[in-house]
Amino acid sequence: MTEHVYSCSDISTAQPSVVALFVSDVHLSADIPATTHAFLQFLQGPARAAQALYLMGDMFEYWVGDDDINDPYHQSICAALHDCTNAGVRLYWIHGNRDFLVGAEFADRCGLQLLPETQSLRAGDKTIVITHGDAECTGDLAYMQFRKQVRNSQWQQQFLSQPLEKRRDIAKQMRAQSQQKQSAAMVLSDVDEDAVSSLAEAHQADILIHGHTHRPALHQYADFSRYVLPDWDCDHATSPRGGWLALLSDGSLQAYDVHGEAIQLPVNRHTA
Ligand code: MN
């Protein structure tokens, strides 16, 4: 794994600049115009100040294959991502559990680079490890089984060999099923504490950043910190939801809400 290196110094400056931004779980689809608008505003505004933008999974509600890129909605997202690249921001993509079929053609058309499931970043003297977060939900056995199946290249080839229309139908059915399940259980699985601590240990991480669970927070452990990114929803929620995390040039991390206002994340201290 090639580490991404950023020089961050602890020397406090009056106005630290933005080094990298982290965002996930926007769940983009043509059905959510207000959320789409908010995300496009983010790409045209705050994102432009960063050296790098990490798109960390479930950016799309679903993705049935790169041959669906000519859909007008997908084209508009793709163009907005490419504009960001053209403005000098390096764009990186980590797959989520909904858009794991995003491939090389999509990446090429948007001017972004696909990353492995887990990416390590060096920020000054700190190691930051980023991942979507679904692989750490090891307590959800049914999901882990499903994940193993759909991340298998043979399964993916077989799925992608079906006509585009059929794949869209399958995705629609799966979304309806998962919405039913979610409204019945009312909760998304959270990450497993053992899984996150092994991940931090394996990479000697000082900081983990992930999304997926829709539980934005800062978790503090004895040896590392864990930042959880928010999901976005400006179409259904009573107050618009979303936001991102920024790595600043002084090495600090700052959370922003969907309007771009700096916010404090709820802090959860874990004692061993
Ligand atoms: Mn997810």
pLDDT (tens digit per residue) in 177-219: 877 766 655 567 899 999 999 999 999 999 999 999 999 999 9
CA distances from 202 to 147, 149, 176, 190, 205 (A): 22, 25, 37, 20, 8
The tokens describing 111, both together, are: 């001017």
Q: Please identify every residue whose CB atom is under 5 Å from ligand 1, which is an ion.
A: 58, 96-97, 212
Residue 91 to residue 87: CA distance in whole angstroms: 11
For residues 217 and 137, is the Cβ–Cβ distance under 8 A?
no
Q: Which long-range contacts (CB under 8 A, 24 or more apart) does 255-261 make?
A: 255/216, 255/218, 255/227, 256/46, 258/38, 258/42, 258/232, 258/234, 260/42, 260/45, 260/46
Q: How many CB atoms lie within 10 A of CB 130?
A: 29
Mean pLDDT of 74-99: 97
Structure confidence at residue 185 (pLDDT): 56
201 burial type by CB count under 10 A (0-12 exposed, 13-18 middle, 19+ buried): exposed
Provide the sign of the torsion angle of the four alpha carbons 134, 45, 63, 111, taken in this order: negative
* Residue 228 CA, ligand 1 centroid: distance in Å: 12
Of the candidates 225, 231, 229, 217, the residue with the CA atom closest to the CA atom of residue 264 = 217
Q: Which amino acid is at 88?
A: G
From ligand 1's centre to the CA of 21, what distance in Å? 18
CB atoms near residue 267 (< 10 Å): 10
Q: Residue 75 C-alpha to ligand 1 middle, in angstroms?
A: 22
In the predicted structure, residue 261 carries a pLDDT above the cut 80: yes
Phi first, then psi: give them for residue 204, nearest 5 degrees.
50, 40
Whether the pLDDT of residue 12 is over 80: the answer is no
Q: What is the pLDDT of residue 200?
A: 97
Q: What is the CA radius of gyration of the chain?
A: 18
Give pTM, 2 decimals. 0.95
Q: How far is the CA of 162 from the centre of ligand 1 (A)?
A: 24
Which ranges of the chain does DSSP label H, i.e. alpha helix? Answer: 33-44, 72-86, 104-110, 141-150, 153-160, 164-185, 193-202
pLDDT value, residue 192: 96
What pLDDT score does 6 carry?
95
CA of 62 to the centre of ligand 1 (A): 11
* Residue 159: CB atoms within 10 Å: 16
The torsion of the CA quartet 161, 164, 168, 174, rounded to 10 degrees, works out to: 0
